[in-house]
A and B are shown apart, each in its own frame.
Chain A
Amino acid sequence: MKIKLRLPEFLRMGILPIVLIFLMAIAFVVAMVRYTIGIGAISDLSYSYPWGFWISFDLFTGVVISSGGFLMAGTVYILRIEEFKPLLRPSVLTAFLGYMMVAIALLVDLGQPLRIWYMIIHWNHTSVLLEIGICVMSYLTVLAIEFAPVVLESFPKLQKVAHLIHKYIMPFVILGVVLSTLHQSSLGSLLLIQPTKLHPLWWTPILPILFFVSAISVGLSMIILESSLSSRYFQRGLETHLLAKLAKALPIALGVYLVLKFGELAVAGDLGYLFTSGLMSILFWAEILIGIIFPMVWFSIKRNRTTPSGLLTGAVITLLGLIFNRFNVSWFGVTHPDPLFYMPSFMGNVKYFPTFPEVAVSIGIFSAGIMAFGLLAKYFPVFEDEHEHTVVGD
């Protein structure tokens, strides 16, 4: 007798989902250990470095790579440039999942995760972190409303609700753009309270403006990246002509950023640090060359803007450079004086390097985000054929 050793249809999956589930499982186990015996058991966080990899990667990077959502919502709904409609839904979904990942990561990082909602009722109006908390919570709601029609449309009985949301979407879009502007910039303000700890190459009173301007470039690159990857994975057409337009805007956005960054250094009289701060100077130049100069040159060449591989390469390098900036500002650029000869060890611990479990948590949460994006894109009309009639925005 033959035994049929075939999995039922719904259990069959590719290698990618299996890897993702495996990574998520590791993160889950690490998180459980952390909840049982404390943050110190799994991380290298200390009194000198209360914020480490989780904040740099999950909060700073997670928020900035989600900026495509408000860019596309603003372009399509407010400016009514409707040709970008095919990019709207994936961008909004990326943003929604990005912020979900931020929220989940904070539940691991916070000492009292069950009290995260305290931010809603206890307000300290001088705290930048409060502003970010409130903005992220409200914006997550707005994004859920913006994306809800995509899911609701698929159920015939709920189409009325979807149409109702369409009808009154504009206030939410405007609110979403305002909230995004606020918290993308206030992530920069978060570091303003450390003038004595953050290196002067990065600490400037205009940090919020720099953060907002660079978030625009990150958003554009992120849209290019996710469109390219999903077109490969789902084997669908790539909107190259639309992406080419985004790529054309990138050198301009980056140029503004570059001028602001060096202009501020010149005005503050900090230009000397560009060459005299050793490792810090190198980190700064790396960020400038990879994240600003290279993409500006790359996307000025027409061939790179119009070919899928050119677009993808440029977007990835821009993202790497600009995310490197977030790491510099929130981690590498934060320095402490050398410990005194005679000092308790808990105060002398002024070096930080993330441990494996720390990184595993972040990777696991990121995997969950990719998985969720894949599942939603597979079962709901996230990517629409641009020639087909679409309901969004009608």
Chain B
Amino acid sequence: MTLKHNAYLFDATRCIDCRACMISCSVENNIEMDKTRIWVAGVGLQGEYPELQRSTMVYHCMHCLHPDCMSACPVGAYTKAEDGPVTYNPDLCIGCRYCMNACPFGVPHFDYDKGLVEGAFIDKCTFCPQRIYNGQKPACVGTCPTDALEYGERDELIAKAHERIAAHPDRYINHVYGEFENGGTSYLILSHVPFSELGLPELPEEPVNEVSEKVMEMTIPFALSWGAVLTAVTVGVAAYDKKKKAAKEKEAEVEK
């Protein structure tokens, strides 16, 4: 019963910074005018005329295989679906913004401009469930004019990415970002410039939540044993105290 694990593949060599993905995302998901779930970043123009180069990257949620937002959220507002999407449930959110702290990519965005009445929530890419579960591609992928964004099964996309690198080793950096980073992500990136120039953080292969999850596993056993130790000490000290008092009283009686 292995489900198809959906993912995105982004090819930086194909991105022309047209931002159609941003528009289609905002339209599809009814995002407010001054907000966005997708953004574009890069280091700007490089090189000297006439050999100018400009590379950009399209950002949205990486849909990690071991999401840090999900690990951090105290009330479990995040879920990782078996088929890929990391989704956020505003009905549970308490607005603590720990997910924003946890996410190494800076993906969850918070409504800093909303008061109590409107309600301040987190906003992030949802993987367009209304589209992908109806046989369509996510809005950003569907609208991309240069096929810089692709959608498909994760394993197939990884194979495709490596094929593309093998076919044009001079064009690409020999690495698929997201294959292993942060425990693997469902947003894979191919690039011709160093990934740091696209604003991607350098991450280890273990997800960043690894240590904190290990510590959390030790919490209950530690609490129980610490409680047991304290109870033992309490009983012991009380018994010792009683003995000492009795001895003192005896002494006093003898002195009399």
Tell me if A233 counts as interface (CB < 8 A to partner B): no
> A47-B106, A50-B101 known; A178 and B111 CB under 8 Å?
no
Is there contact, CB below 8 Å, between B75 and A122? yes
For chain B, residues 200 to 240, give those with C-beta under 8 angstroms from any C-beta of chain A: 201-204, 208-209, 211-213, 215-216, 219, 222-223, 226-227, 230-231, 233-234, 237-238
Residue of A nearest to B78 (CB): A124
- Alpha-carbon separation in the docked complex, A230 to B10 (Å): 64
Contact of B233 among A78, A127, A194, A337 (CB under 8 A): A78
Q: Give every chain A residue within 8 A of B115 (Cβ-Cβ).
A: 34-38
Residue of A nearest to B93 (CB): A112
Tell me if A238 counts as interface (CB < 8 A to partner B): no
Tell me if B120 counts as interface (CB < 8 A to partner A): yes
Is there contact, CB below 8 Å, between B110 and A50? yes
Tell me if B102 counts as interface (CB < 8 A to partner A): yes
- Alpha-carbon separation in the docked complex, A35 to B219 (Å): 35
For chain A, residues 33 to 51, give those with C-beta under 8 angstroms from any C-beta of chain B: 34-41, 43, 45-48, 50-51
Distance of A349 from chain B, by nearest CB (Å): 10
Distance of A315 from chain B, by nearest CB (Å): 27
For chain A, residues 51 to 86, give those with C-beta under 8 angstroms from any C-beta of chain B: 51, 74, 77-80
Q: Give every chain B residue within 8 A of A208 (Cβ-Cβ).
A: 215
Is there contact, CB below 8 Å, between B92 and A122? yes
Is there contact, CB below 8 Å, between A78 and B234? yes
Q: Write out, one digit per residue, whether chain A residues 143-165 have a CB within 8 A of any chain B CB (1) or not (0).
A: 00000000000000000000000
Contact of B92 among A39, A118, A133 (CB under 8 A): A118
Q: Give every chain B residue within 8 A of A197 (Cβ-Cβ).
A: 101, 104
Q: Give every chain A residue within 8 A of B129 (Cβ-Cβ).
A: none
Tell me if B121 counts as interface (CB < 8 A to partner A): yes
Residue of A nearest to B99 (CB): A50
Contact of A193 among B44, B56, B112, B208 (CB under 8 A): B208
Q: Write out, one digit per residue, whether chain A residues 219-241 have a CB within 8 A of any chain B CB (1) or not (0).
A: 00000000000000000000000
- With an 8 Å Cβ cutoff, the count of chain A residues facing the other chain is 67
Tell me if B71 counts as interface (CB < 8 A to partner A): yes
Tell me if A379 counts as interface (CB < 8 A to partner B): no
Tell me if B169 counts as interface (CB < 8 A to partner A): no
Tell me if B114 counts as interface (CB < 8 A to partner A): yes
Tell me if A276 counts as interface (CB < 8 A to partner B): no
Tell me if A88 counts as interface (CB < 8 A to partner B): no
Tell me if A196 counts as interface (CB < 8 A to partner B): yes
Is there contact, CB below 8 Å, between B230 and A112? no
Residue of B nearest to A36 (CB): B115
For chain A, residues 155 to 197, give those with C-beta under 8 angstroms from any C-beta of chain B: 170, 174-175, 177-178, 181-182, 186, 189-190, 192-197
Q: Give every chain B residue within 8 A of A110 (Cβ-Cβ).
A: 94-96
Q: Give every chain A residue within 8 A of B203 (Cβ-Cβ).
A: 196
- Alpha-carbon separation in the docked complex, A181 to B219 (Å): 11
> A128-B215, A195-B211 known; A344 and B39 CB under 8 Å?
yes
Tell me if A130 counts as interface (CB < 8 A to partner B): yes
Q: Give every chain B residue within 8 A of A170 (Cβ-Cβ).
A: 234
Residue of B nearest to A110 (CB): B95
Is there contact, CB below 8 Å, between A47 and B72? no
- Alpha-carbon separation in the docked complex, A205 to B219 (Å): 14
Is there contact, CB below 8 Å, between A38 and B111? yes
> A111-B111, A127-B71, A182-B223 known; A174 and B101 CB under 8 Å?
no
Q: Give every chain A residue within 8 A of B92 (Cβ-Cβ).
A: 118, 122
Tell me if B68 counts as interface (CB < 8 A to partner A): yes
Q: Give every chain A residue within 8 A of B97 (Cβ-Cβ).
A: 50-51, 111
Q: Give every chain B residue within 8 A of A36 (Cβ-Cβ).
A: 115-117
Sampled A-B contacts (5; CB under 8 Å)? A129-B98, A182-B223, A205-B215, A341-B44, A347-B59
Interface residues of A (CB under 8 A from B): 34-41, 43, 45-48, 50-51, 74, 77-80, 109-116, 118-119, 122-131, 133, 170, 174-175, 177-178, 181-182, 186, 189-190, 192-197, 205, 208, 337, 340-344, 346-347
Which 5 interchain pairs have the tightest Cβ spacing? Answer: A111-B95, A40-B112, A50-B97, A124-B76, A111-B120
Interface residues of B (CB under 8 A from A): 36, 39-44, 56, 59, 68, 70-76, 92-98, 100-102, 104, 106, 109-117, 119-121, 197, 199, 201-204, 208-209, 211-213, 215-216, 219, 222-223, 226-227, 230-231, 233-234, 237-238, 241
Known: A128-B215, A193-B101. 11 other contacts (CB 8 A): A38-B112, A41-B112, A48-B106, A51-B101, A77-B234, A112-B120, A118-B92, A175-B227, A342-B40, A347-B59, A347-B199
